Amino acid sequence: MAKTTTSGGLPSIDPSRRNRILQDVLKGVSRSFYLTLRVLPKGLREPIGLAYLLARAADTISDRRRAGFSGARLEDLLTFRAQVAGPADFDVLQGLVSRSLEGMSSPQEQALFASLADAFALLESLEEADREQVRWVVGTLTQGMEMDLNTFPAEDSGGLAALSTGADLDRYTYLVAGCVGEFWTNVTAAHEPSLKKWDVAKMSELGVRFGKALQLTNVLRDIPRDLRGGRCYLPADELAAAGLAAEDLLDPANEGRARQVLIPWMRTALGHFEAAEE
């Protein structure tokens, strides 16, 4: 970690480390997102790239697949959220990094966590409007991760749980994806003079719906894998109305009744996609 110079003990951020975070580190954890970022207008690259990296770090913290670690994951996730909200503390970040690096095998993820203090220093250096947008979207995303940890059993427990209601699934899709559409819309509108005539509130709503559509698609596509991991995102009350519990979805003989729940959510996803095409 770099020399600490700020009131919270964070390193000051110089151009070389700024570039390393948004180029080398970002390219390492997601080459596809890095290439997407390169074609964006220059003013969008820092807030969007940094938001991605911080969200990726939060996801890694919440998704550590280690026996008996669900409580520790939640505690570290909440610590991370507090650091994003600010003011960040270098010593707290160091402890978080040390715990996260234990057992981490990916060199790219290791590089991300080794650069975490610089990432937070970059956050502090953003223009205030961008900084608040990044804090908001990363904080919101971590609420979705917290919802996962509080709802579902540990991956190695052999248990299985489902979201309770359709409202829970709708909220989940907002927390983990819809908010990203809102964030991109707000940041883009703030930085692009050509969009000054946009109805930002309307476009943000469409961005939310697009994000929800993508996440619902993931939910519906990944049902078998999620069930094996102890997670059922289809609402328990809707399954019960069809005469099913989450574990019944593991039996192919129940496919017909499962469609009673699946098809309405497919229609919801399509409705979001169609709205976002406007």
Structural domain total, the chain = 2
Answer yes or no: do 116 and 206 share one domain: no
The residue count for the chain: 278
Assign residue 258 the CATH number of its domain: 1.10.600.10
For the stretch 90-103, pLDDT in tens is: 999 999 999 988 87
User: Has residue 200 been placed in a domain?
Assistant: yes
For the stretch 105-137, pLDDT in tens is: 899 999 999 999 999 999 999 999 999 999 999
Answer yes or no: do 1 and 116 share one domain: yes
Domain stops at, among 92, 127, 162:
127
For the stretch 26-78, pLDDT in tens is: 999 999 999 999 999 999 999 999 999 999 999 999 985 544 456 788 999 99
Mean pLDDT over the full length of the chain: 92
Confidence grade of residue 186 (pLDDT, cut at 50, 70, 90): very high
C-alpha distance from residue 87 to each of 72, 73, 232, 267, 278 (Å) = 22, 21, 36, 43, 40
Answer yes or no: do 232 and 178 share one domain: yes
User: Has residue 134 been placed in a domain?
Assistant: no
Enter the tokens of residue 152: 């579902």
C-alpha distance from residue 247 to each of 103, 159, 242 (Å) = 32, 10, 13
Answer yes or no: do 174 and 123 share one domain: no
Identify the domain containing residue 223 by its residue range. Answer: 152-278
User: Has residue 115 been placed in a domain?
Assistant: yes
- Taking the whole predicted model, whether its pTM rises above 0.85 is answered as yes
Q: Give the separation between CA 84 and CA 30, rounded to whole angstroms.
A: 21
Confidence grade of residue 156 (pLDDT, cut at 50, 70, 90): confident
